[in-house]
Each structure stands twice: as structure tokens, then as C-alpha cells.
């Protein structure tokens, strides 16, 4: 399974030493967690939202200290929270680059040239699947079906899907991303935390503003 996005091999890493306690949850983060936890009959159910908050507060990846702080905030054990964090592919238990390029290579994308795009990126960026460029700018992953198959090939970067990619237009997008601050792993986590909060469509979050929620006119897949 060396081609998988998130990979079981990553989660089979060496056992981490006991985390040095950190407290990076801001007062606002605790308030957000308390509000979201109120949506459920028990606090444990807020584990997924809490990990999204942690991923944002810790700059885009979940260190062992992040998992410990999440466990403390929820009143759960470290093992329980780590078990959840390592199950889901979007929680980064290893650090990612400033842009996490997740190219969908599942069926419809695969037959529409997704592997050519992966190979182009590997060649141009000089990294393999699962690796990060030395400058920390890009991490390249293969994603399982992102379910936007009509616009194959698809790539997710942060909280955005880019569609209809080809080997011709992919490097132009990469240049745009280099100049952009909008699609980082922390911004993705911030968007998701905001989506979980009632009323946030008025205030925005992540790389979203209320204006960006206006849909473009005309057909859109």
C-alpha cells in the first residue's frame, strides 16, 4: 500500500515518546469546542471536531502533544483519541507541506490521466508519493475517490477542489499555489471548524468569506 494517501505505513510509525505537555488551544478554541460539544448528548462525540480544532491550533498537523491536549479537553484517554486520529486520513499525524497536493487517482480520474499528472508532479517537484519538498512547500499524495468524478482529474488542496486538471495546466496551478496563502492544512481545519458552528456563514472562516458562498451562475458540476 505504498501508494496510499494516508497510509497505514505512516500510522505504523515507531511508538512516540510520552508527549511533552503543551497548551496551544486558545481561549477561543476552548469556547468553540464547548459550543460544538453542546450539539451532542455526550462530550465524547465531539472527538472529531476537537481534532479538527487541534489540527488548526497546531498549525496543520497533530503532534502527540496535540492529541494529549485534545484528550484533556474532552476528558478522554490519550489512546482513545490517538485511535480516532489515526483512523481518518485527513488528520495529519505526520507534518505536511504548506500545500498538501492530494491527486485523486481512483477509477474515473485514473482513466482520465490522473497518473500522468502524478508523474508530472513527481518529476517537476522532485518528490515521490507521500514526500515533501525540501523547502516544505508541497506534499504529494494520492487520494482515494474525492467524488467529483465528472471533472476528472481532481486534486484537493486545503479546503478546495481543483478540477479538469491535465499535464498541461497542472504546473500553472502549482505556480499559483506557491503565491497563495489560502489552501494550507491549517486553513482546511479552520474552514471545517467554522462549518460546525451555527451562524458562521455570516462571519466566514478558513479561506471563505460570506461573498465566496455566492454560487457562480450557469452549469457547475
Partner 1 sequence: MAILNLLFATRNVPGIENIDVAEAHGIYKGVRKAVTMERQAVIDEIKASGLRGRGGAGFPTWIKWNGLPKNYTAPHYVICNADEGEPGTYKDRELMLKQAHTLVEGMIIAGYATYSKVGYIYIRGEYVEPAWQVRKAIDQAYKAGYLGKNILGVDGFDFDLHIHMGAGSYECGEESALMSSLMGERGNPRLKFPHAPLPTVEGVWKSPTLINNVETYCAAGWIIANGSENYAKLGTERSKGTKIISVSGHIRRPANYEVEMGTPLLDLITEAGGVIGGGLKAVVPGGSSVQIVPADRLGPINLDYESCGANGTLLGSGGFMVFNDRTDIVLLMKRTSEFYAHESCGKCTPCREGTRWLFKILDRITSGGGRDGDIELLLNVCSNIDGRSYCGLGDAAAWPIVGAIKAFRPEFEYWIKYKKSPVGASALPPSPEVVNPLLLQAAAAHG
Window of 13-21, 22-30, 64-72, 115-123 that interacts with partner 1 by CB under 8 A: 115-123
String of contacts with partner 1 for each residue 120-159, x by CB under 8 A: x-xx----xx--------------xxxxxxxxx---x--x
Q: Does 12 bind partner 1 (CB under 8 A)?
A: no
CB 190 → partner 1: shortest distance, Å? 10
Q: Does 214 bind partner 1 (CB under 8 A)?
A: yes
Question: What is the phi/psi pair of residue 185, to 5°?
Answer: -60, -35
Please give the grid coordinates belonging to residue 98: 504548506
Q: At which residue does the C-alpha cell 499559483 appear?
A: 176
Residues 6+ apart with CB under 8 A from 99: 137, 138, 139, 157, 158, 177, 183, 184
Q: Which of residues 172-201 bind partner 1 (CB under 8 A)?
A: 188, 191-192, 194-196, 198-201
When the beta carbons of 17 and 216 are compared against partner 1, the nearer one is 216
Q: Are strands 155-157 and 160-162 parallel, antiparallel or unpaired?
A: antiparallel
Peptide bond into 153 cis (omega under 30): yes
Q: Which of residues 43-102 bind partner 1 (CB under 8 A)?
A: 44-49, 51-52, 74, 83-84, 87-91
Amino acid at each position: 500500500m505504498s501508494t496510499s494517501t494516508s497510509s497505514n505505513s505512516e500510522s505504523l510509525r515507531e511508538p512516540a515518546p510520552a508527549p511533552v505537555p503543551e497548551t496551544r488551544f486558545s481561549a477561543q478554541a476552548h469556547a468553540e469546542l464547548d459550543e460544538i460539544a453542546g450539539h451532542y448528548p455526550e462530550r465524547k462525540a465531539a472527538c472529531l471536531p476537537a481534532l479538527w480544532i487541534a489540527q488548526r491550533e497546531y498549525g496543520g498537523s497533530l503532534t502527540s502533544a496535540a492529541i494529549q491536549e485534545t484528550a484533556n479537553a474532552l476528558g478522554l484517554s490519550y489512546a482513545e483519541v490517538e485511535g480516532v486520529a489515526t483512523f481518518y486520513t485527513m488528520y495529519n499525524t505526520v507534518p505536511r507541506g504548506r500545500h498538501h497536493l492530494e491527486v485523486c487517482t481512483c477509477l474515473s480520474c485514473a482513466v482520465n490521466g490522473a497518473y500522468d499528472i502524478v508523474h508530472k508532479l513527481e518529476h517537476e517537484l522532485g518528490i515521490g508519493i507521500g514526500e515533501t519538498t525540501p523547502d516544505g512547500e508541497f506534499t504529494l499524495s494520492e487520494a482515494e475517490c474525492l467524488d467529483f468524478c465528472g471533472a476528472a482529474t481532481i486534486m484537493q488542496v486545503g479546503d478546495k477542489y481543483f478540477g479538469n486538471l491535465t499535464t498541461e495546466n497542472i504546473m500553472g496551478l502549482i505556480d499559483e499555489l506557491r503565491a497563495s496563502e489560502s489552501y494550507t492544512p491549517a486553513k482546511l481545519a479552520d474552514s471545517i471548524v467554522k462549518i460546525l458552528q451555527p451562524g458562521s456563514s455570516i462571519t466566514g472562516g478558513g479561506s471563505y468569506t460570506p461573498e465566496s458562498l455566492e454560487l457562480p451562475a450557469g452549469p457547475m458540476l
